[in-house]
Amino acid sequence: MSTPETPPATPAPEATAAPRTTEDCTVAILAYITLIGFIVALVLYSSKKTAIGAYHLRQALGLMITAFVGYMVLAVIPVIGWLLIPLFSLVILAFAVIGLIAAANGQQKPLPLLGEKFQQWFGNAFT
């Protein structure tokens, strides 16, 4: 008596997607490395537009705007706000590292907390 064979497992969607080259990820990685890196990423993106580049440019733009607004708000709150600035800086740095790791791995993974909102708010940017 023979046992029925199990069909082969289907690969994950990312495995079937076209492989990304390091050139595709360069824009995504540079977007998270300071304002100068973001500007360089914009220049590179204008010559070779990729979905991953646009995604991470939107994430990095949202993170920079959040950081700017957060620093402005904390700066005007006496004492407590000034004491929270270093903690806020660490959170922004952690989010930038998370985005950088996702970009280096070729993933379109949103940043924690506001990443999905960044994609909604800046959805028409970098198209």
Is residue 16 over pLDDT 60? no
DSSP H/E element including 31: none
Look up the pTM and report it.
0.77
Is residue 126 over pLDDT 60? yes
pLDDT band at 15 (very low <50, low <70, confident <90, very high): very low
In the predicted model, what is the mean pLDDT of the chain?
Answer: 83
Is residue 10 over pLDDT 60? no
| Residue boundaries of the structural domains of the chain | 21-121
Q: What is the pLDDT of residue 12?
A: 39
DSSP letters spanning 41-59 = HHHHHHHS--HHHHHHHHH
- Tokens describing residue 19: 């492989």
